[in-house]
Amino acid sequence: MVNKGICNIIQSFAPMSSVYRIVIAAALLIPLGLAACSKPINVEASYPDRKEGSDKIVYSDEKRATIWGGDDTLGSKLFGKEKEEDAGGTGIGVNSFLWRASLDTISFMPIASADPFGGVILTDWYENPDAPGERFKVNLYILDKQLRADGLRAAVFKQKLGKSQWRDAKIDPQMGTDLENAILSRARELRVAQLGRE
Q: What percent of the chain has pLDDT over 90?
A: 39
Q: What is the pLDDT of residues 16-43, one digit of tens each?
A: 566 666 777 777 777 766 666 655 555 5
Confidence of residue 196 (pLDDT cuts 50, 70, 90): confident
Where are the domains positioned within the chain?
2-37, 48-81, 96-197
CATH 3.30.530 fits 96-197, yes or no: yes
Across 144-153, average pLDDT: 89
pTM of the model: 0.54
Q: What is the pLDDT of residues 117-133, one digit of tens each?
A: 899 999 999 998 898 89
Cβ proximity of 160 and 167 under 8 Å: yes
What is the rounded CA–CA span in Å between residue 13 and residue 56? Answer: 58
What is the rounded CA–CA span in Å between residue 60 and residue 30? Answer: 35
What integer pLDDT is reported at residue 144 of this predicted model? Answer: 87
Burial class, 187, CB count within 10 angstroms (exposed 0-12 / middle 13-18 / buried 19+): buried
